[in-house]
Structure 1
Amino acid sequence: MNDKQTPPPQHQEEPGSEEQMHPQPEFISEHYRSGGKLQGKVAVVTGADSGIGRAVVVHYAREGAKVALLYLDSHEDARKTEDEIRKAGGEVITLAGDVADEGFCRKVVEEVTGKWGRIDVLVNNAGEQHPQEKLEDITADQWQQTFRTNIFGMFLLTKAALPHIPEGGAIINTTSITAYKGNPVLIDYSATKGAIVSFTRALAMNLSSRGIRVNGVAPGPIWTPLIPSTFSAEQVSEFGGNTPMGRPGQPAELAPAYVYLACSDSSYMSGQVLHINGGTVLNG
């Protein structure tokens, strides 16, 4: 995808597959240069089979981290991501399950700490969205499901992991541009992303005395499987075109921000959100 290109029309069934996207998302840039910024660290990343999560775990592996790759059920994408981590010379544990299941969260922490002893970096990235034209079209079940995945799962995994995150650790939460400007067809999704911003700010203050930093990243329109699997082919063909840069972003363009927030370069940053959105200026 060139600098001024929006995707061609396409649609997939949920949850979507990165391997079926055209063009496939870029998860690492040829210009990226690793520097051992996470050497020896242990990172847990949710929603890591594809999209932003794939880019994050591959960058972390290239920076020297041991990675726990968490995903729901997109097994083919997860295997591809696992292969990319190993190509980068990284160690990886791959765990499939629902982050909104407290038992699964406990299992993740048990397996990761059993193998590597601690968790230095937790990236809460898993999310889902279900566009609806009108509020009346959002069922109570959909509202609850979106909140369960996007914010309840974040709370449950963070709670399970916290006893094993040492001083100097980092928690990074994926929120969204929709938390700040809303989206008329993503009302429940936008509400969860606003909750994530508040969760990030409050938790950062709560954990400052323990030496654990908490920050967020608010992506704008990013080319991931979530897009062709939740929007119509026509909407996909216009995706990202309304940004100042005139295109959607690539996962590879976000991942370095997650590296920055995970490593000691950001030692004086907590309770903040980085806006990577193609040039849209936001207050907050």
Structure 2
Amino acid sequence: MASLENLAVIVTGGAGGLGKAIATAFLAAGSQVAVCDVSAPRIAEVTTEWEASHSGKFIAATADITDEAASQAFVDSVVAKFGKLDMLINNAGIMDSFDPIGTTDKTVWDRVMNVNVTGLFLMTKAAVNGTMAGAAYTASKHAVLGLTKNTAGFYGDKGIYSIVLLVGAMTNTNIVDAFALSAPNQANMGVSHQLNPGFNPATTGVPLEDVAKYCIFYADRNVAHASNGSTITVNKNWPVA
């Protein structure tokens, strides 16, 4: 495993839930970590927490990744502080309301696609340029796969690798914050559970720390090169294959 000492890593949505777990794992390994999040209170909380143990090794900033200027400014600030950018982890994402296409409100569709696809696009665009300088839910995730394959194909020979972790159900992330904006369709959540039965948080829920370990694993450039363009399933076999 390559050394992670002073690796420069960005984690979007990194001030809570899975993002924080990933960021914490990299900080513990000696990396320089930059997190952005739309929640100012969460940013303030991790700043206080990490200042005591990782002072000078992190950036924590409130940023809206769906805003191109904000995304670019955040990446620029990372490169300015760390002198480089080695790895981007597009963790930020929100849920829809479990409505099927016939009853999905366009505002929900726009919000989910804006964060899960456009935000990923803008951050990846800014990160790729920074690196070159040296320095509705289901549809959105399929779009991510396409963008990943495209990025892997066009930038692999430049040493920029793109990999997707297909993460299963997690019970302690911040993704449910989206429900504050649009209450879930309880009936359709029930249909979803019927179509994908057997979820048990104790046995099929994926621990945040385990997902973070995959991110650490793919920080090894040789490993990332070997898996460039791949989709890696991390779901404890739920739904059952």
TM-score by length of 2: 0.82
Alpha carbons 1:168, 1:213 under 8 Å: kept: no
Segments of structure 1 that go 5 or more residues without pairing to the other structure are: 1-34, 170-187
Residue 232 (structure 2) pairs with residue 274 (structure 1)? yes
After TM superposition, give the deviation of residue 221 of structure 1 in Å. Answer: 0.3
Moved over 6 A (4+): 232-236
Alpha carbons 2:95, 2:176 under 8 Å: kept: no
3-state DSSP class of the match of 1:125?
coil
Segments of structure 2 that go 5 or more residues without pairing to the other structure are: none
After TM superposition, give the deviation of residue 87 of structure 1 in Å. Answer: 5.4
More helix by share: 2
Q: Which range moved further: 130-139 or 96-105? A: 130-139
Q: CA RMSD in A?
A: 3.1
After TM superposition, give the deviation of residue 80 of structure 1 in Å. Answer: 3.5
1:45 corresponds to: 11
2:174 corresponds to: 225
Identify the match of residue 126 of structure 1 among 92, 102, 106: 92
229 and 160 in structure 1: CA distance in 2 versus 1, 3 angstrom threshold: closer
3-state DSSP class of the match of 1:254?
helix
3-state DSSP class of the match of 2:54?
coil
After TM superposition, give the deviation of residue 45 of structure 1 in Å. Answer: 0.9
Alpha carbons 1:61, 1:88 under 8 Å: kept: no
After TM superposition, give the deviation of residue 259 of structure 1 in Å. Answer: 0.7
Identify the match of residue 77 of structure 1 among 16, 35, 42: 42
Alpha carbons 2:94, 2:176 under 8 Å: kept: no
After TM superposition, give the deviation of residue 94 of structure 1 in Å. Answer: 1.1
Q: Distance in 2 between matches of 1:88 and 1:265?
A: 30
Please give the per-residue CA displacement for 1:20-79, whole angstroms capped at 9, x wherever unaligned.
xxxxxxxxxxxxxxx883111111110101111011100111111111111012x33333
- What is the percentage of aligned positions where both structures have the same residue? 21
Q: Distance in 1 between matches of 2:229 and 2:94?
A: 24
Identify the match of residue 72 of structure 2 among 106, 121, 142: 106
Q: Which range moved further: 198-207 or 77-86? A: 77-86
1:9 corresponds to: none
